A and B are shown apart, each in its own frame.
Chain A
Amino acid sequence: MAETRLRTISIISWLALAIAAVIFTVTGLSQAGIDQGAWISEALLWVTAITLVSLLSVPAPSGSRISLGIGAIVAASILTQEVTAFAAATAAALAIAWVFQRRIDTWSHRTDGDFLSDALAAAVFGATYVYMEELFLGWGLSDDAWTVVGAVAIGGLAWFIVRALVAAFVGVERTDLAGRYLWLLALEDWAVVVSILAAGTLFGLTWPVMNVWAFAVAVLPYAFGHLAFERYHSTRVTYGQTIRALAQIPEVAGLAPRGHSTRTADLAVAVAQELGLHPNDVIQLEYAALMHDVGRITLNEPAILKAGYTDEDIARWGAQIIAEAPYLEHVSALVEQQHRPYRSPGIEIDPDVPMASKIIKVASAYDQAQIEMGLSPVEALEKIHQGSAYEFDPQVAASLRRVLVFRGAIPY
């Protein structure tokens, strides 16, 4: 249902943009004393430029891809003297880019939600930019590069906030994610956004005085950053894959149930996102959940298997193994704490047990109840509820229930 609603919103916003483009064109051309030929060629030039640049995107730390279109929109807003030409060009270009994007979405990696937030944010940027520039000039500031930079900075901030809000709104509509989580996720991207805005502004300011050399000045330095963002993104993907692969060694060795680590991680991440944990904590939690049973590799040793072991031993051995990797100290600590009850007699809630560890405990137990005892999802969840006197945090259990309801695993 949420999907259909999103589709409707997207189509309405597309129509709104197309209508806006027509209205701006009509009002622009009917202004007194306007050179119509110049107006049209200027608008067409920017329609082309913004459309093409909008199709390029860069992977941001949050995992979403940010369109470079805003860079072109910034340049256009600085370079076009006619406000209506700028507005018409932006609206038309975004509408066209969206259609393109839908055709080649495997290539541009962007979704309708991204488009919607870009379109709204672009409109907000344009309005803020024009308003701020007039305001600055009204204050008696000179019409120089600093005024432009100031107006772009405030317009860019507005653009960023709107984009983050829309992303949070669309995300909540579409999945079982907390708005807070999505908002924090969007904030992770500020460096990429600032970089694109600065490159666009640089182009807008240098084009009149440097002509084609403006491409070198604005594009080359940005390209360096773009390459770095791309590489960072691909390394993060392979880092996750590496941990996923290593985590499965005990399963391959037959010392842990097949697929348990992956399912636990999947569920734990969903619960963490539903609860609105910080995105950085969610990544750590994902790694910890994937590797929560890695200590079981120790059971390879017949002597240890014979001597017997407890959940605490598995957690401790796992933490020792993970601690060997210098960048995973925090993950190691989470794994070590995973067996602990969230409270004990006389203590309301144990403050030393991190939220992430409590989530892993619940997710792991839920999966185990299903595969080891053969329980149905409802029965497995019931087991968690029964254990919530000491073992399982009720707050986490409630969140798990919401996630399962959302996924259709259990009835509402």
Chain B
Amino acid sequence: MFPNELVRQQKAKVRLAVGFGVAGVVVLGILFAVQEFPTPLWLWALFAVVFVFFEWNTVEVNDKLYASPSAMVIMTAAVAFGYESAVLGAAYMAALALLTPDDIRERRWFQPAVNFGQLVITVSAAAGVYVVVRGSEPVSTSNLWRVALASGIAAITYGFVNYQLVLFIVRSVYGHREANPWSHMTSILLPMTGMGFLGGLLGATYVLVGSASIPLIGIVFFTGYMAFESYAQLREAQLSTLAGFIKALEAKDLYTRGHTERVAYFANMIGQAMGFNGTQLEKLRWAALIHDVGKLAVPREVIRKKARLTDDEYGEMQAHVHHVEDLLNEVEFLRPMVDIASNHHAHFDGNGYHGSTGETGETPSLEARILAVADSFDAMTSTRSYRVALTQEYAFGELRKNAGSQFDPDVVEVFVSALSASGERYGSPIEISEEEARRRAEQGIGHSHAATESPHMDTNRGRGSEAAHG
């Protein structure tokens, strides 16, 4: 990046930090003059702690839905504090969340100053809207619908103002960056409204039932939160167990080390460039992780054999791979991924080896097509028993040459441009022809990561091109 661009960003950051800091302080000052501090104090302190906690730990329900419990806590507090002190109480709670543990550790000051102003403005706007819509009438059984409505509208305000401020900050610092303010709005506002609505009702519960409702609400949310945390942790454990395990099994064989990890990385890169969402990306990553697991059960001497396999050897290898696929199919949630993995040698035009589930002549799924490109690229750019690594350009050329027959042309183009844009390089650094690569392998040059996936396994036994090997 150009130095003057960095200087410009630095100046913009300072302006923002000062601007937001001052704005936050001014808002707090005005509120101090027009509203009263909420009573009881312990209730304010409790809400503040809970709010700060949720600001620091967002709960990710899934990739489409980011629940924001902090907006809910703000609405609960606003309703519980009442007309005279709703805005002041909520805004002062928000002011406390300015320092995150990360900021403190890294001694940043730009982020906290901006956060402070942003939160104070957002929360004051939301609580202000609530107070205006609801009016000064005390909460009672007959006007609960109005509490719920006002909290819902206030939560929409919260989401909207927060989003606009974030957008403003991003634009001021990185002026040229494009961002569409409406594309994500529904996914933010919808859960936000629900949370605000519920938050308002919980505040009303406190007003109508009394302080005994606090521990009850707290318990229900806390146990739910804990369960979600352990669920997320277990999910992570599952992924890392499989990944670690496959990595370890692979590492036992010097020759395939790192292949799976790289294929998963390339597949993820293509998926991202094609606009996959989190769920789809995760599915792709799992499929990439298990795409070669079947070969772990194949005897090394078969895998490393340089000559063409006999029919018996080929059959034995297929049987091993299918056995492992059967094993993984017993894991319910892996089934769709096993399907993708077992089809990754199928060609775009319907030829090629279709695994145990696919039909010859059928176009494989998009995920399988992505996996095919990622797998072949890594096969070409790493050293094999029968040739040393080829160059990245050569590999791109092979992918393009076979686009339309073996590979999906869209996937190939997306991959080539994504990898080129990333600036990363794979394969041999020096220009090398395929004949030269084979000759060097025979002489044992460049065998440091000698590899070896056999060229015989995929393909319809020889009918595939060099690019098919993987």
Listed in ascending order, the chain A residues whose CB lies under 8 Å from chain B are 144-146, 148-149, 191-192, 194-195, 198-199, 201-202, 205-206, 209-211, 213, 216-217, 220-222, 224-226, 228-229, 231-232, 235-239, 241-246, 248-250, 252-253, 297-298, 300-302, 317, 320-328
Contacts and interface: CB of A to CB of B under 8 A. Distances in A.
- Chain B interface secondary structure, helix, strand, loop or mixed? helix
Nearest to B252: A298
B26 interface: no
Given A231-B231, A242-B241, A253-B296, A145 B334 contact: no
A221 B210 contact: no
A242 B286 CA distance: 12
B248 A213 contact: no
Interface residues of B, number: 62
Contacts of A321: 245, 248-249, 252
Contacts of A324: 244-245, 247-248, 251
A328 B245 CA distance: 10
Nearest to B319: A252
Contact of B320 (A220, A243, A252, A325): A252
Contacts, number: 195
Given A217-B205, A252-B323, A297-B296, A149 B249 contact: no
B253 interface: yes
Interface stretch (B211-219, B436-444, B454-462): B211-219
Nearest to B316: A254
Contacts of B144: 210-211, 213
A149 B212 contact: yes
A326 B240 contact: yes
A210 B144 CA distance: 7
B221 interface: yes
Contact of A300 (B202, B241, B300, B330): B300
B366 interface: no
Given A235-B238, A245-B330, A324-B248, A194 B219 contact: yes
B326 to A, nearest CB: 9
B120 interface: no
Interface in B79-93: none
Nearest to B240: A326
A328 B241 contact: yes
A327 B238 CA distance: 9
Listed residue (B198, B237, B245, B332) with the most chain A CB atoms within 10 angstroms of its CB: B245
Contacts of B148: 213, 216
A336 to B, nearest CB: 14
B241 A327 contact: yes
A207 to B, nearest CB: 10
B230 A232 contact: yes
13 contacts: A144-B212, A192-B223, A195-B220, A206-B208, A209-B208, A228-B227, A228-B228, A232-B230, A245-B334, A246-B245, A253-B297, A301-B300, A325-B241
Given A211-B141, A239-B237, A253-B299, A206 B205 contact: yes
Contacts of B209: 145, 205-206, 209
A195 B219 contact: yes
Contact of A245 (B212, B220, B328): B328
B141 A209 contact: yes
B220 A205 contact: no
Nearest to B332: A238
Contact of A232 (B204, B220, B234, B330): B234
B293 interface: yes
B324 interface: yes
B27 interface: no
B52 interface: no
Given A235-B234, A324-B245, A217 B201 contact: yes
Interface in B225-265: 226-228, 230-231, 234-238, 240-245, 247-249, 251-253
Interchain residue pairs A-B with the least CB separation, the first 10: A225-B224, A145-B212, A228-B227, A324-B244, A325-B244, A324-B248, A253-B297, A327-B237, A195-B223, A325-B241
Contacts of B252: 297-298, 300-301, 317, 321
A350 B435 CA distance: 62
A241 B332 contact: yes
Given A210-B201, A249-B327, A321-B248, 13 more contacts: A144-B210, A149-B215, A195-B223, A209-B208, A211-B141, A217-B205, A239-B238, A249-B293, A249-B324, A301-B253, A301-B300, A302-B299, A325-B240
Contacts of B102: none
Contacts of A238: 238, 331-334
B418 to A, nearest CB: 29
Contacts of A328: 241, 244
A232 B227 contact: yes
A252 B231 contact: no
B281 to A, nearest CB: 18
